[in-house]
């Protein structure tokens, strides 16, 4: 078991991301954005600079937090857009020796019912995407986010059934604010624990996020791990008891959310929140291990 995180929530630049990782005493980063641009899209010169700085610091990129087929991409867009991202990602992951990549299953088509989401085309594309990665020795991990597979645990399992080689990264916080489209309207929000228990056997990696859903404002208030409705402590406890030896990757969202402009803070507060988040997760894991003795 190891700890890592979306270090772009600590700092936008690679220097700050490395500094935060070292302050926590960790050796891994889940690479997502460098100066606001995803790592598979930054210019080649900047990528080489990032690779050199990581090597010099002794920090490894354990996973690419890619934007491939994510909530900002439509299944109706040309597939070549995705294929180009995949090709760039593979080359850069091979350069860094990274073996895991977070992908998704395209945005939910607005105005359409859950059974009218171009399901077969999603399966077809993801089969090609996954084959490209697995042929390169890379494991693709689908995240339960604002995408087809995130509509419910049943939709995630349909992806697993129809896309050979696909594994899961389970995000503890996403169910809190995501409609459960396996149920009748008006859709209730999902349960993190329920979602987790149904997909547990396919989980290869975990994102730690937590929060509380405000039904009045229809906004999630992000919290430190274990303080929200994401069943973080219960899920981590169950994973540890089951012998899970993969990564726990923090995605605080407390002082900055990559895709929500309403959340912002001074750079130093952003950095300090990331450090505090990591230390609180360490404490949770330590306490759970002590309880298990």
Q: What is the pLDDT of residues 123-143, one digit of tens each?
A: 999 999 999 999 999 999 999
Residue pair 111/74 in contact (Cβ under 8 Å)? The answer is no
Give me the mean pLDDT over the 234-257 stretch: 92
Q: What is the pLDDT of residues 256-291, one digit of tens each?
A: 555 555 555 688 889 999 999 999 999 999 999 999
Domains of the chain (ranges, CATH numbers): 2-292 (3.20.20.150)
Distance in angstroms (rounded) separating the CA atoms of residues 34 and 12: 6
pLDDT of 230: 98
Distance in angstroms (rounded) separating the CA atoms of residues 293 and 280: 20
pLDDT of 266: 82
Q: pLDDT tier at 293 (50, 70, 90 boundaries)?
A: confident
Q: Determine which of 59-63, 144-148, 279-283, 289-293 has the lowest per-residue pLDDT on average.
A: 289-293
pLDDT of 277: 98
Give me the mean pLDDT over the 208-215 stretch: 97
> Could you give the percent of the chain with pLDDT greater than 70?
96
Q: Is the pTM of this model over 0.85?
A: yes
Distance in angstroms (rounded) separating the CA atoms of residues 224 and 252: 7
Residue 174 clears pLDDT 80, i.e. is over it: yes
């Amino acid at each position: 078991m190891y700890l890592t995180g979306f270090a772009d929530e600590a700092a936008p630049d690679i220097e700050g991301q490395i500094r935060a990782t070292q302050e926590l005493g960790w050796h891994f980063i889940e690479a997502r954005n460098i100066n606001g641009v995803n790592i598979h899209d930054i210019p080649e010169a900047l990528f080489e600079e990032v690779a050199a700085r990581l090597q010099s610091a002794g920090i490894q990129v354990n996973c690419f937090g890619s934007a491939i087929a994510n909530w900002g991409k439509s299944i109706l867009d040309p597939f070549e857009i995705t294929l180009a991202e995949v090709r760039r990602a593979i080359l850069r992951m091979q350069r860094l020796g990274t073996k895991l990549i977070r992908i998704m299953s395209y945005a939910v088509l607005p105005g359409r019912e859950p059974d009218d989401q171009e399901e077969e085309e999603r399966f077809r594309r993801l089969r090609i995407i996954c084959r490209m990665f697995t042929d390169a020795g890379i494991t693709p991990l689908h995240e339960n986010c604002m995408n087809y597979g995130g509509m419910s645990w049943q939709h995630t399992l349909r992806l697993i059934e129809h896309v050979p080689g696909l594994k899961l990264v389970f995000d503890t916080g996403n169910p809190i604010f995501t409609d459960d489209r396996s149920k009748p309207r008006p859709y209730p929000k999902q349960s993190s624990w329920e979602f987790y228990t149904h997909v547990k056997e396919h989980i290869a990696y975990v994102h730690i996020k937590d929060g509380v859903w405000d039904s009045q404002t229809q906004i999630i208030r992000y919290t430190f791990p274990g303080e929200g409705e994401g069943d973080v402590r219960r899920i981590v406890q169950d994973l540890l008891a089951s012998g899970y030896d993969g990564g726990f990757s923090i995605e605080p969202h407390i002082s900055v959310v990559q895709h929500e402009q309403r959340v912002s803070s001074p750079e130093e507060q952003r950095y300090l929140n990331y450090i505090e988040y990591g230390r609180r997760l360490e404490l949770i894991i330590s306490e759970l291990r002590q309880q298990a003795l």
